[in-house]
Amino acid sequence: MKVADVFKWKNPEIRALHLTWIAFYITFFVWFGMAPLASSMLKSLDWLTPDDIKLFAIANVALTIPARIIVGMALDRWGPRRVFSVLLVVMALPALFFAFGDSRVQLLVSRLVLSSIGASFVVGIHMTAMWFKPKDIGFAEGFYAGWGNFGSAAAAMSLPAIAIHIFGGPEGWRWAIASSALIMAAYGVYYWFAISDGPPGTVHHKPKKASAMEVSTWADMIKLILWTIPMVGVLGILVWRIEDMGYLSATGATVCYVVIALVVLYQIIQILRVNVPILKKGVPEDDKYPFNSVAALNSTYFANFGAELAVVSMLPMFFELTWGLTPTTAGIIAASFAFVNLVARPMGGLVSDRLGNRRFVMLAYMFGIGVGFLMMGLMSEKWPLLVAVAVTVACSVFVQGAEGATFGIIPSIKRRITGQISGMAGAYGNVGAVCYLTLYTFVSPSQFFMIIAAGAFISFALCFVWLKEPEGAFSEEYYVSSVDRELEALRQQEVTIK
């Protein structure tokens, strides 16, 4: 696939790509609409504090974690078209609730529910994998995610101006958020009728069970359990911060901890229920895959997408306070971090497609992220603003490129469970964001950037040891095992009987 191909709108796969990144773009626009309006909210609502805004930023990425797991399962059952359309329409409700919320609790709860919209990412990844072949998937996924992620930059650049110049007044920020929510709902209805799950005749490979990821060995099952616990367990950090800031009583926090523990226990039971029968029967050699690669990619997304979500959530206020800028100017400058998504993320996927070694590309990008955030950790008001912006953009190139490289690998690991692998890696992006944003409430911005740099170097080491080049990563078609063929034959029989 060439860059020029993205202009061939009449090609069905290109049309599907554009329809899907637009859907993703809108969700990110709505999802990150709070950060550029934070200072306007503080001026408009005298009962709101900067600490509340920091807590809302954590809540803004919290439920994305379980949502991505659930949506990953839903994708394998119902397909991306239905899931994306429903998500776009349903998530407009908490966005509207946040826009007109009139208490700290209302804003917190609506932000928590709205954080589920982050699951939109894995939906589009799955849809794109349905339309494009392995040799082109890196660029296609990178283009989808890069242009979709640009929604956060567009929100940072435009929402302050919309709130001030179009709606105006102290309530302008409310109407700016509400209008974006209504556009999202309308596009959800359009998306339902405008696209299908892959080209005509596409076989939608489904896992044996959608309730938990299949693995190949007993050791991999233990690893899956160990990697599953933090995905929901990390919500305990959020509960602790909410209780610590007086939003939740001790009793309420205890109830939340018990619920989190029960959800983790339920997921472990599902893993055992799905995999014990499979492993007792024995997994054919041609159906096995290395779970270590999934774990390595979980760590990369923790370190790159987690960092992006955290940085996007704090960068406008960082520039505003460090260099004494206006909210509009700070929003535009901070948007430079996400702005490069338009080029950097597709480039990450394209480089992954062209170099013939997806593992090497992944390692190079993760090392670059570490160096980039080290540089950002040294920034201060003494730096010329132009230099600070240049460093921010350069760091972002590696962050977005690493995200593109991550999802250039995922669809080739195990076709049958692409939705679940995407969901797990995507969820780890939000685990990273929750961890990083929580740490941000205790440290200075410089220390915060240093911590993110350390996370990138740790992920680099894990990839160096665990990540393997996926089989058939540059083929014309996705690898299909003997079990895939048996499952497809069974489904064909079921369709014939009906």
Three-class secondary structure assignment of the chain: CCHHHHHCCCCHHHHHHHHHHHHHHHHHHHHCCCHHHHHHHHHHCCCCCHHHHHHHHHHHHHCHHHHHHHHHHHHHHHCHHHHHHHHHHHCHHHHHHHHCCCCHHHHHHHHHHHHHHHHHHHHHHHHHHHHCCHHHHHHHHHHHHHHHHHHHHHHHHHHHHHHHHHHCCCCHHHHHHHHHHHHHHHHHHHHHHHCCCCCCCCCCCCCCCCCCCCCCCHHHHHHHHHHHHHHHHCHHHHHHHHHHCCCCCHHHHHHHHHHHHHHHHHHHHHHHHHHHHHHHHCCCHHHCCCHHHHHHHHHHHHHHHHHHHHHHHHHHHHHHHHHCCCHHHHHHHHHHHHHCHHHHHHHHHHHHHHCCCHHHHHHHHHHHHHHHHHHHHCCCCCCCHHHHHHHHHHHHHHHHHHHHHHHHHHHHCCHHHHHHHHHHHHHHHHHHHHHHHHHHCCCCHHHHHHHHHHHHHHHHHHHHHHCCCCCCCCCCCCCCCHHHHHHHHHHHHHHHHC
Domains in the chain: boundaries: 1-196, 213-470
The confidence score (pLDDT) of residue 497 equals 62
Q: What superfamily in CATH does domain 213-470 come from?
A: MFS general substrate transporter like domains (1.20.1250.20)
Q: How many whole angstroms separate alpha carbon 84 and alpha carbon 191?
A: 8
pLDDT at 275: 92
Residue 482 pLDDT: 76
Query: How many other CB atoms sit within 10 Å of the CB of residue 355?
Result: 13
List the one residue out of 330, 279, 298, 347 whose CA is nearest residue 463. Answer: 298
Q: pLDDT value at position 154?
A: 85
CA nearest 414: which of 201, 216, 229?
A: 216
Tens digit of pLDDT per residue, the chain (498 long)?
677 788 888 889 999 999 999 999 999 899 888 878 888 888 888 888 888 887 888 788 778 777 877 887 787 778 889 999 999 999 999 999 999 998 888 998 999 899 889 888 888 888 888 888 877 777 887 788 778 878 877 887 788 888 888 888 888 899 999 999 999 999 999 999 999 988 876 655 565 566 788 899 999 999 999 999 988 888 888 788 778 877 778 898 899 899 999 989 988 998 999 999 999 988 888 888 889 999 999 999 999 988 887 887 788 778 888 888 887 788 777 777 767 777 777 777 777 777 777 888 889 999 999 999 999 999 988 899 899 989 998 998 899 888 878 877 887 788 778 778 887 888 888 889 888 888 888 888 889 999 999 999 999 999 999 998 877 666 666 767 777 777 777 766 766 665
The residues, ordered by sequence, that sit 6+ positions from 382 with a Cβ below 8 Å of its Cβ are none
pLDDT of residue 30: 93
Q: Domain 1-196: state its class.
A: mainly alpha
pLDDT attached to residue 473: 63
CATH topology agreement for domains 1-196 and 213-470: yes
pLDDT of res. 283: 86
